Homo-oligomer: A and B are copies of this chain.
Amino acid sequence: MFDKLNKLNFETAEAHCDGPCGVYDPAQARIEAESVLQLTKKILDLKRPEGDDAKAHAAYQNTLTRFIAIKEERAEMAKHHLLVLWTDYFKPQHLEKYPDLHETFWNAAKACSSCKQEVSLEHAQELMDAIKKVHEMFWGSKDKDVAWYTAS
C-alpha cells in the first residue's frame, strides 16, 4: 500500500516530505561522528599508569571509562540522526535517484555499532566517510550546495 500512496504523492512530495517541521541537517550526525573519532584517538593515546599508586589508577580508570561511555553515547546519537534522515526525510522518489540509498544507510548504521564495539580508527573514519556521502545525497536531493566542514 505504500507504493500506491507514494505514487499519488509523488508530485507534491517536496511540499509534504518535510513534515512535521522540515528541518533536517546531516551536520547533526557529522558532529557526533567527529566526537566518536576524537574519543577513539584519545582512548588509544591514553597511557596506563605504571606502579601501584591507587590515586593514579583511579584517575586513569575514570578517564578511560568516561571516554568509552561517551563514545558509546555519541555513536548512538550519530545512528539516531542518520536513521531519522533515512526513515523520515528520504522518500521513494529519492530512491529512484539514489538506488544505493538503503545500503548507504545500513552500512552507516552498522559503522556506528562497530565504533561502539571496537576502539578502531578505521571504523571511525568509515563512519565519517559514510556521513560525508549522506551529506552529498541530502543536499543533492535539495539542489542546494552546502560546504562540508568539520568542527575539530
A residues contacting the other copy or chain, number (CB 8 A): 61
* A residues neighboring B (CB under 8 Å): 1-2, 19-25, 27-28, 31, 34-35, 38-39, 42-44, 46, 48, 54-55, 57-59, 61-70, 72, 74, 79, 83, 86-88, 102-103, 106-107, 109-110, 112-113, 116-119, 126, 146-147, 149, 151-152
Return chain B residues, CB-CB under 8 Å to A1: 126
A-B contact pairs, 17 of them (CB 8 A): A2-B110, A20-B67, A21-B34, A24-B151, A25-B27, A27-B31, A58-B119, A59-B119, A61-B68, A62-B118, A63-B117, A64-B65, A65-B69, A66-B116, A69-B72, A87-B113, A147-B147
Q: Which 8 A-B residue pairings sit nearest by Cβ, starting from the closest?
A: A102-B102, A25-B151, A87-B109, A21-B38, A65-B68, A23-B34, A23-B35, A21-B35
Cβ–Cβ contact A68 & B62, under 8 A: yes
A119 and B61 CA atoms in complex are apart in Å by 10
Among B64, B110, B118, point to the contact of A87 (Cβ < 8 A).
B110
Other-chain residue from B2, B83, B112 in contact with A107 (beta carbon distance below 8 A): B2
